Structure 1
Amino acid sequence: MPAAELIELWRGGLREGVHRGHAVIHDGRDVVAAWGEPDAVIFPRSSCKMIQALPMLESGAADAAGLGVEQLALSCASHNGAARHVERVGEWLDGMGLGEADLRCGCHKPWDREEAKRLTCSDAVPSQLHNNCSGKHAGFLSWVRHAGAGAEYVELDHPLQTAIRQATDDVTQEEPAGVGIDGCSAPNFAGSITGLARAMAAFAQPSGDGRGRAMTRLVEAMTTYPELVAGEGRACTELMRAMEGRVAVKTGAEAVFIAIIPERKLGVAVKIEDGGTRASEAAIAALLVHLGVLDRAHPVVGKLLSDPMKNWRGLEVGELRLASGFPV
């Protein structure tokens, strides 16, 4: 089955463009609803950071390091590199006797405007702490320190990545279809979009064992500190705030988006084929409204999906629309 038409762009009464993709809602046993190809193989990118954080909790590393809820939220984050993100990750590393140089995520300019302005005006340069994945990597280092493992923790044959691979196999109930290297240099295991949705359903209805407790702690951390998971102006943060802790959501590069819905015991996964972030944000918002966990009248739905598009003079020139049949 080919990709489905999910989000349309209309201008002047004509359909100007269309974003095609795949979406799956899963209850942990079966696919509840699907659009496009449920078996489409994708890289989850940063949408799977909760899975990558599981070994840190399951090994006892998080508790041994005395990690709190904020650090757990940051371990799942693709943050803006704002001062609060940089400071907290720096303190986390310092508490382990480590520093920025121990990270293996690389540097990029922070997405946070104020922090970017501060760096520019002071002639300072970004550090690895500004990388949107620095919290995830601090979590990796927590595991490494606890296990006494080698420093090159992003290498595919490192014991940490073996543990992450096993956790991925378990929660997706699939063998990875391949492995790629993410923007932060960590391995990223490819799989079906159904497998990703199935994994998110597992987080939505965790068991009472050690893994289930780890899943619960990560979801609660994300929904307690949505500003640490992304940042001001970001869809992840704004959606979680709008749903007042009831749902965890997480984006990934190349237009992947997931949702974990404990009250419905459902997991959701979306992938837009052309990599258009605006479409993945619109699609996840539409599905959350469809599932009754996001108020259609909330301003974030307007921002991501239904408000008119305006040009530089403020004129209304177009709009995003849901394609026919999405969601039903």
Structure 2
Amino acid sequence: MNTQDSIAAIVYRGEAVENTHMAHIAVVDAQGQLLCGFGNPLRMTLTRSAVKPAQALAILETGALEAFGLDESDLALMCASHSSEERHIRLTRDLLAKSGATEADMRCGGHPPIGDAVYLDWIRRDFQPTPACSNCSGKHAGMLAAAKALGQPLEGYHLAQHPLQRRVMDTVAAACEVRAGSIQWAIDGCNLPTPAFALDRLALLFAKLAAASDTTTPREAALARIYQAMTRHPELVAGEGRFCTALMKAYAGQLVGKVGADASYAIGVRGSDGQPARGIAVKVEDGHQGVLYAVVCEVLEQLNIGSAEQRQQLSAWHHPPMMNTMKVPTGRMALTFALAPRQASDPGSITPVA
């Protein structure tokens, strides 16, 4: 592929080109059919935290929520890359207490928070983050509950060879309809296994989330619970001033969205007005998060998802102002891609065998 064919954004300083950014986009229906895309929709992609709903599915299917009285807020937190606000830390500790696990059992480390306001507060208080302060603390607390529900040891719950992680890996493969042996597994920033597979498979996961109903199969009912948890509690999935929270609030249940580190993103859009449920997945090659959000907003614009008023609520991410320290405008970002339909004869429209 010619790299010029994948340039999705150009950043100008004055009229000089400062940076170009390549991206790949896949838009699929709930059967995995590629509807349209840009760049390489089949790019092998480390999904990072964008795949958390599939990991939460594995937790949900152990019966841990029923076993320990966990609720919809707990499930939303399991899907989160949160800002370590007080509510996120408190809910994590409450989740641990419900299952009888402790913060000492967690195998994620504390780190500076994603949110600037929280970071300033920590600096003022000389606060030292603990594992419950990790942006992935909900996922870890959920996995500890799942291990207990399965009667498995908590020790090593984060390791690829642990029975819980083997179960998670199988669930991810099935939910994304990828052959288990074709997934490349690495270690995420929070110390859990993270998968890499074709970008359109991430889009398929989110299309399934958006299409799921609680009146069909047990798995689809579980996916529907995850969709509802995330869209009803967007402030738990990210936090104040964060894109995921703003996106889901703007669309009020019409779609679910989740970011992954190093610029991956996925959205599930509910069917409406004759359109089927769709999944969208985006990967920006150089890992630039600001470019990622602008590209995601432009995809929503090109697909005419939601109302103009809803998309306008995301304008600060769609067209981010570029100013120097004196608030003088210095440049602009031009989004240069156009989504193109894929034909049935295209390799990109072939659904991999599960």
Smaller-chain TM-score range?
over 0.9
Matches within 5 A, 1:143-154: 143-151=146-154, 152-154=156-158
SS at match of 1:34: strand
Provide the C-alpha distance between the structure 2 equivalents of 1:98 and 1:166, rounded to a whole number of angstroms.
25
Match of 1:78, SS state, is coil
* Residue among 300, 306, 310 paired with 1:288: 300
Match of 1:124 among 122, 127, 135: 127
Which of 321, 324, 327 is 1:308 aligned to?
Answer: 321
Report the counterpart of residue 72 of structure 1 in structure 2: 75
1:183 pairs, out of 179, 189, 199, with 189
d(CA) in 2 for partners of 1:117, 1:14: 35
Rounded to whole Å, the distance in 2 between the matches of 1:135 and 1:219 is 16
2-structure distance, mates of 1:111, 1:15: 29
Between 192-201 and 221-230, report the one with greater CA deviation.
Answer: 192-201
Corresponding letter in the other structure for 1:283? V
- Counterpart-to-counterpart distance in 2, 1:43 and 1:92: 28
Deviations 1:235-257 (A, max 9, x none): 11111111122111000001000
Q: Percent identity?
A: 33
Equivalent of 2:160, from 140, 156, 163?
Answer: 156
Aligned equivalents of 2:86 and 2:158: distance in 1? 26
The equivalent position to 1:112 in structure 2, one of 115, 123, 139, is: 115
Which residue of structure 2 aligns with residue 197 of structure 1? 203
Name the SS of the counterpart of 2:92 in structure 1: helix
Look up the match of 1:265: 277
- 2:253 counterpart of 1:228: no
**What is the match of residue 344 of structure 2?**
none
CA distance in 1: counterparts of 2:163 and 2:255, whole angstroms: 32
User: Runs of 5+ in structure 2 lacking a partner?
Assistant: 342-354
Q: Which deviates the most, 106-115 or 261-270?
A: 106-115
Paired position in structure 2 for 1:139: 142
Q: What letter corresponds to residue 272 of structure 1 in structure 2? A: V
Alignment gaps of 5+ in structure 1? none
Q: Aligned equivalents of 1:296 and 1:315: distance in 2? A: 29
Give the C-alpha shift of residue 49 in structure 1. 0.2
| Worse overlay, 60-69 or 252-261 | 60-69
The two structures have a TM-score, normalised by structure 1, of 0.94
* CA contact 2:37–2:339 (8 Å) conserved in 1: no
Deviations 1:243-278 (Å, cap 9, x if unpaired)?
A: 122111000001000001122400110000100001
Aligned residue in 1 for 2:172: 168
Between 1:128-137 and 1:92-101, the stretch displaced more is 92-101
User: What amino acid sits opposite 2:322 in the alignment?
Assistant: M
Residue 163 of structure 1 aligns to which amino acid in structure 2?
R
1:20 matched residue in structure 2: 22
User: For 1:185 and 1:36, how far apart are their aligned partners in 2?
Assistant: 31
Distance 1:38 1:203 in 2: 19
Q: How many residues align?
A: 328
Structure 1 residue 324: Cα displacement: 4.2
1:150 counterpart SS class: coil
